[in-house]
Structure 1
């Protein structure tokens, strides 16, 4: 039997409610498969942990994460307790950087039963590949002077290594999908980093002659996500542009509560991390109404990454059928509670195996 060890970090807010519920689904999938077993090492790292210990994770936290096959994260942040820059850089971004999770991928697709704000969503199905280690989110810069003379400088850092591996990952992904890659750029306004990005995109594209390519300026691309999302397949973007586009992708789906994400380590040295896009939503914790779909879709991406594609497809089938039958939480216009959605999905998965 294949044993897979998962580092589970429920985190803050609704993560503490949703993550344990979704582990029941993973256990059901393991029973269906019969040849895999998930072993969980749960960590209480959160803003509450910070208030007690002065850090978001212990000194040996990263070493403990390195010993597992994947990291399954719920949500990070509670600004009423800890400033966001402290909680994020002390946990989420720390894990991304020190586990060398250099690629972030976030899918978006039309799901029957989720009311998209678009009049004609046309069954869109695209995925954004985001550079996850540098770009506009570099730590290079600073502030000097004060008063009217105060200056803030933030330097964007684009290395050929990181830019090329992100773009190449997008092309490889497109080969397994419909064979189209769109690059997000802004070379008409950002005169150094974006022309460099465009150049690398064109160079890498020559290695994939069968892939259809195009480049869109980020402002136009945001408009196209609304007016014609069905025309996109794989979109590759810098750290900031990818971040913006993926929240917009969640919005055109109809809810950020269903959107998943994966932070991918591509060299095999460290585990990858899987997290829903939504925040910790501390305003609804304890009410049992948190939407578990984003966390479940995240689990599907984790299963695919671990080579359990069949289980991932089975889970996605159960998710779509459950939503399509109207079993959904209040943020999606339904009346179901978190545990009711989970129970319905487990019932479907069990029925599939008979």
Structure 2
């Protein structure tokens, strides 16, 4: 729901992260700046903040307290990928920076589009859908408890994992899905496993149906999680917005990203009602870090999603126009034959970003 107009330029954080993050995040800033200018919007007030393995030695943490505090003063931010598996202990065993930020700010909606680019080797060229993933509960241990973990061993021979499902969390993710569908093709599909997990995912399905009754214009259907993977491979073009619990959403969004061509083009945002974090769905790719080889499309499109989220929240048509310009600029650039090596092209990260920015500027 839109709120009053934003009184000043958007204050947006820059968190480079690890691996290819220091390459794809600046590329995204360049493209977002070009799009905001082309849309006649005020330039963003960019706020660089320390995060990642490189700051552990200088700040004592991959997510310094000063970073978390400053993020609370911003409208949103770009988060580069992190490589927490490579952090020294005890940092490796702690909640990773993305998870800690998400949990601290209750970023309950993980929104992951999957759309093929013309001119790329997509497995399903007609795919154009969005996975709306509940981001705070479900079957993931780090999201199931206020303190501690939802995964534990009462004896050396028994491991237990809890899955948490609550009405308030399900209601708000369902509303997010239906509001998004109203802006798209007005079709929501609930993905669940209510035939087996009747009490938990059955509860999720029931509440989504309750919320769906408030959106009579939106077609509502549902599929079991296992069947959904088959339907996506066979006929992904038949789906619009998928809404599901945490773990199912993680699995489905990776699948749909690959069906669209590559996780390298798979964007996402993590959002609450107050702020949003743009974060590519892929990892840090340390094997190609620093070589100007990384595909920045996922991060750039995540930046476009952030602008669209801001435009929707503040009823700001210029921010929304900037988001559209980025999407069209990416499509036109790839269609023209300019792409990184993973999509069959020869452009480096910086060259690709410059080409997208120039395309937007020429509109």
Task: Give me the TM-score of the superposition, normalised by structure 2.
Answer: 0.90
Report SS of the residue matched to 1:37.
Answer: coil
Show the counterpart of 1:239: 246
State how far apart, in whole Å, the 2-side matches of 1:140 and 1:87 are. Answer: 15
Show the counterpart of 1:230: 237
State how far apart, in whole Å, the 2-side matches of 1:273 and 1:5 are. Answer: 12
Which consecutive segments of 4 or more residues in structure 1 shift more than 6 A?
Answer: none
On the 8 A contact 2:50/2:67 being kept in 1, the answer is no
> Do residues 178 (structure 1) and 189 (structure 2) align?
no
Report SS of the residue matched to 2:215.
Answer: coil
How many residues are paired up?
343
Answer 1 or 2: higher relative contact order, Cα 8 Å, separation at least 6: 2
Q: CA deviation at 1:135?
A: 1.1
Report SS of the residue matched to 2:22.
Answer: helix
On the 8 A contact 2:174/2:243 being kept in 1, the answer is yes
Show the counterpart of 1:329: 340
State how far apart, in whole Å, the 2-side matches of 1:90 and 1:8 are. Answer: 17
State how far apart, in whole Å, the 1-side matches of 2:93 and 2:16 are. Answer: 14
Show the counterpart of 1:13: 19
On the 8 A contact 1:55/1:90 being kept in 2, the answer is no
Residues 83 and 177 of structure 1: CA distance in aligned 2, closer, same or farther (over 3 Å): farther
State how far apart, in whole Å, the 2-side matches of 1:323 and 1:88 are. Answer: 39
Residues 31 and 296 of structure 1: CA distance in aligned 2, closer, same or farther (over 3 Å): same
Structure 2 matches for 1:92-171, cutoff 5 A? 92-118=98-124, 121=125, 123-137=126-140, 138=144, 139-146=149-156, 150-171=157-178
1:279 corresponds to which of 271, 280, 283: 283
State how far apart, in whole Å, the 2-side matches of 1:49 and 1:186 are. Answer: 42
Let me know the Cα RMSD of the aligned residues.
1.8
Task: Give me the TM-score of the superposition, normalised by structure 1.
Answer: 0.92
State how far apart, in whole Å, the 2-side matches of 1:132 and 1:189 are. Answer: 22
Instruction: Kindly provide the CA deviation profile for residues 291-348 of structure 1, in whole angstroms up to 9, marking residues without a partner as x.
Output: 0111110111011111111111111111001111110011111111111111111211
Report SS of the residue matched to 2:71.
Answer: helix
> Do residues 313 (structure 1) and 324 (structure 2) align?
yes
Q: CA deviation at 1:278?
A: 1.0
Flag structure 2 segments of 5+ consecutive residues without an equivalent.
1-6, 312-318
Q: CA deviation at 1:187?
A: 1.1
On the 8 A contact 2:192/2:224 being kept in 1, the answer is yes
